[in-house]
């Protein structure tokens, strides 16, 4: 009886010791998902004071590869997993977003057609005057390789990588927004959520309609806006704490955080 009591006590002490061990998680991947993932992580850390979550960007492809190679605890991707090995990963649909064409706030244009975007990025249209804008050269801002925003943009507008010869290549959404905000003649494409967040902060950019359809959260939700995408967490294996984190991401508190970044949370 005494030995059983001692064994039970040791078991409880061991569990308590394991629970008291500080943990570090690493999230890598999409620069679109990263800001909201960082805020969700801060809120979750408050519930687990010994947990620290480091959120790093690098693009959706990096997030998926790091997860497959067990280099992180969670990957962030802003697209569907590619066919093949990526589809072996566990997925958690966090939110929905879209991709918007952006120009400087001073640009008089309000709409671009599918064909006009193609011609701009093929440099078949090189001056804003041809589109009813000022007599000024169009400065092309383009995403770097490894970012899902680039993949989806090329796929949607049926452009080959070799056809696009940009003036400026950027990495994350914030870099793209700052570039366009600082150049009245630039055009780029970024996350709708990131664009709306910056517009709310009075950053001098504006989103253009595509074929007359406004890039709004409402039009993403109702399916009218064509250039939209899912935002995922991907992971290789589950643990009770990971399941708790993902469950937290479905909570009212988490949805408020997601909406703060102008994404559509998944209920």
My answer on whether 115 and 159 are in the same domain is yes
My answer on whether 108 and 210 are in the same domain is yes
Question: Per-residue DSSP letters for 227-255?
Answer: SEEEEEEEESS--HHHHHHHHHTTSHHHH
pTM: 0.85
pLDDT for the residue 10: 46
What is the separation, in whole angstroms, between the first and last Cα of the chain?
A: 51
My answer on whether 131 and 172 are in the same domain is yes
Domain count along the chain: 2
Domain boundary among 186, 202, 221: 221
My answer on whether 197 and 174 are in the same domain is yes
Q: Identify the DSSP state of 173.
A: H
35's CB contacts (< 8 A; 6+ apart) are: 194, 261
My answer on whether 149 and 185 are in the same domain is yes
Nearest to 40 by CA among 55, 22, 50: 55
- pLDDT(42) > 50: yes
CATH code of the domain covering residue 244: 3.40.190.10
CA distances, 26 to each of 75, 95, 168, 245 (Å): 9, 20, 30, 13
My answer on whether 24 and 58 are in the same domain is yes
Range of the domain at 256: 2-96+230-265
My answer on whether 92 and 130 are in the same domain is no
My answer on whether 102 and 211 are in the same domain is yes
Query: What is the band of 20 on the pLDDT scale with cuts at 50, 70, 90?
Result: low
Per the prediction, the chain carries an average pLDDT of: 92
Query: What is the band of 4 on the pLDDT scale with cuts at 50, 70, 90?
Result: very low
My answer on whether 57 and 8 are in the same domain is yes
Rounded to 10 deg, the angle between the 60-68 and 148-156 helix axes is 120
Query: What is the band of 145 on the pLDDT scale with cuts at 50, 70, 90?
Result: confident
Alpha-carbon gap, residue 74 to 141, rounded angstroms: 30
Query: What is the band of 98 on the pLDDT scale with cuts at 50, 70, 90?
Result: very high
Query: What is the band of 147 on the pLDDT scale with cuts at 50, 70, 90?
Result: confident
My answer on whether 191 and 246 are in the same domain is no
Evaluate whether 237 touches 227 at the Cβ level (below 8 Å). no
My answer on whether 144 and 189 are in the same domain is yes
The residue ranking higher by pLDDT, 92 or 19, is 92
Please give the average per-residue pLDDT across 104-122, as a whole number.
97
Percent of the chain with pLDDT over 90: 88
Please give the average per-residue pLDDT across 239-254, as a whole number.
97
CA 247 to chain CA centroid, Å, is 20
Q: Identify the DSSP state of 223.
A: T
Query: What is the band of 262 on the pLDDT scale with cuts at 50, 70, 90?
Result: very high
Please give the average per-residue pLDDT across 43-69, as a whole number.
96
My answer on whether 87 and 177 are in the same domain is no
Query: What is the band of 22 on the pLDDT scale with cuts at 50, 70, 90?
Result: confident
């Amino acid at each position: 009886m005494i030995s059983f009591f001692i064994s039970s006590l040791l078991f409880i002490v061991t569990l308590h010791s394991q629970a008291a061990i500080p943990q570090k998680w690493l999230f890598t991947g999409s620069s679109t998902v990263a800001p909201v993932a960082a805020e969700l992580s801060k809120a979750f850390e408050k519930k687990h004071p010994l947990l620290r979550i480091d959120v790093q960007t690098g693009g959706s492809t990096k997030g998926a590869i790091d997860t497959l190679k067990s280099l992180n605890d969670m990957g962030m991707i802003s697209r569907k997993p590619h066919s093949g090995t990526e589809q072996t990963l566990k997925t958690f649909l966090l939110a929905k977003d879209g991709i918007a064409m952006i120009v400087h706030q001073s640009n008089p244009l309000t709409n671009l057609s599918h064909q006009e975007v193609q011609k701009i990025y093929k440099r078949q249209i090189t001056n804003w005057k041809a589109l009813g804008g000022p007599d000024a050269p169009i400065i092309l801002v383009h995403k770097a390789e490894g970012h899902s925003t680039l993949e989806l943009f090329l796929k949607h507008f049926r452009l080959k990588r070799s056809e696009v010869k940009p003036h400026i290549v950027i990495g994350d959404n914030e870099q793209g927004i700052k570039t366009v905000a600082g150049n009245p003649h630039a055009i780029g494409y970024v996350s709708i959520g990131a664009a709306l967040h910056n517009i709310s902060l009075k950053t001098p950019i504006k989103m253009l309609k595509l074929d007359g359809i406004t890039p709004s959260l409402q039009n993403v939700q109702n399916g009218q806006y064509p250039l939209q995408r899912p935002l995922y967490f991907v992971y290789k294996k589950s643990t009770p704490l990971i399941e708790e984190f993902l469950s937290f991401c479905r909570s009212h508190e988490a949805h408020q955080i997601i909406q703060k970044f102008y994404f559509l949370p998944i209920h």
